[in-house]
Amino acid sequence: MDTPEQPQIYLITPPAISLASFPDRLARVVDGAEIACIRLALAGKDEDQIARAADACREVAHARDVALVISNHVLLAQRLGLDGVHLDDAARSVRAARKELGPDAVVGSFCGTSRHDGMTAGEAGADYVAFGPVGQSSLGDGSFADPDLFQWWSEMIEVPVVAEGGLTDEIVRTLAPHTDFFGIGDEIWSAEDPLASLNTLIAAMG
């Protein structure tokens, strides 16, 4: 995957979504901005609920040629016809997920603030590594992935990198030269107009 001049947007769904309204909100955002990938990041474990949400989001994503991955549920990713999986356990499951899903699926790995975990995930076959949070966020254990980590990664490692968790205009501006993707979720979904919030963050990349 070539590193783009400007980072791409990796959209993350809220942990709980309303099937009555969220697919329309998602469609509006995807129609209004260039989105590289969507992650279904539901908090619950209810398989039926996750499957219904996945179906609704897949319809929006695939109609627009956008990949849809799911957090952690490797078998569901396969069963629901999704494009891959995003793993939250650093590098531990990457090899098994790749074996299960095959070479064409997207397998991504969230590695918190650990350079070592990121490198291990890359070696195990991850398509991208995500670090975060980069700002105030409930993600992780309270420590931050600082700009130096992204700068070092972009100079030394070929595996694409995602910056996520607590993004602000200022953080986006700082990290834009050193990251391939921004993982954007809570930052926009709590706003009345998610697309306007997203466009504000995109403008900060320029």
pLDDT band for position 1 (cuts 50, 70, 90) = very low
Taking the CA atoms of 53, 113, 6 and 201 in sequence, report the sign of the dihedral they define.
Answer: positive
- Return d(Cα 190, Cα 161) in angstroms, integer: 25
Judge whether residue 139 has pLDDT over 80: no
Average pLDDT of the residues in 62-91: 97
pLDDT digits (tens, 9 = 90+) for 46-59: 999 999 999 999 99
- Return d(Cα 180, Cα 121) in angstroms, integer: 17
Judge whether residue 2 has pLDDT over 70: no
Query: To the nearest whole percent, how much of the chain has pLDDT over 90?
Result: 92
pLDDT at site 142: 79
User: Is the previous residue joined to 4 through a cis bond, with omega within 30 degrees of 0?
Assistant: no
Average pLDDT of the residues in 117-144: 92
Give the pair of three-digit tokens for residue 48.
Answer: 């039926």
What domains can you pick out in the chain, each with its CATH number?
8-203 (3.20.20.70)
Please provide the DSSP assignment of 136-182 as one string: S-SSTTS----HHHHHHHHHH--S-EEEESS--HHHHHHHGGG-SEE
The pLDDT mean for the chain works out to: 95
Over the range 154-192, which residues count as b (16 or more CB within 10 Å of their CB) and which as e?
beeeebbbbbbbbbeeebbebbbebbbbbbbbbbbbeee
Please provide the DSSP assignment of 58-105 as one string: HHHHHHTT-EEEEES-HHHHHHTT-SEEEESSTTTTHHHHHHHH-TTS
pLDDT digits (tens, 9 = 90+) for 157-174: 999 999 999 999 999 999
End-to-end Cα spacing for the chain: 21
Judge whether residue 143 has pLDDT over 60: yes
